[in-house]
Amino acid sequence: MYTRGTIHLHRLGNAFFGVHKFGKKLNVTPITKVLYALKDGKLWWAWDKKEVRVLGNTVLTKVGKSKI
């Protein structure tokens, strides 16, 4: 989970869309789930833990490191 100051969805939406649309092409495995919330002027977002782990292991395998 990540947080920072206010970023409106219309600004961050393009980044989320890009990660979703081009994730498989660029990363072999896509990130398809994202949670976004704005509370008390702070942006909170998270990606699916399993998808991030699969992506991380894919990258580690490609660079010759042990999986996590």
State residue 56's pLDDT score. 82
Average pLDDT, the chain: 76
Is 16 within a domain?
yes
| Rounded average pLDDT over 46-57 | 85
Is 50 within a domain?
yes
Q: Which residues pair with 36 in a beta bridge?
A: 45
Of 62, 65, 58, 50, the closest CA to residue 29 belongs to: 58
- Distance in angstroms (rounded) separating the CA atoms of residues 17 and 67: 27
Residue 65 pLDDT > 70, yes or no?
yes
Cα 59 to chain centroid distance, Å, stands at 14
**Domain coverage including residue 20:** 2-62
Tens digit of each residue's pLDDT (9 = 90 or more) over 15-28 = 777 777 776 666 66
pTM greater than 0.75: no
Is 37 within a domain?
yes
Looking at the 3D structure of the chain, how many domains does it have? Answer: 1
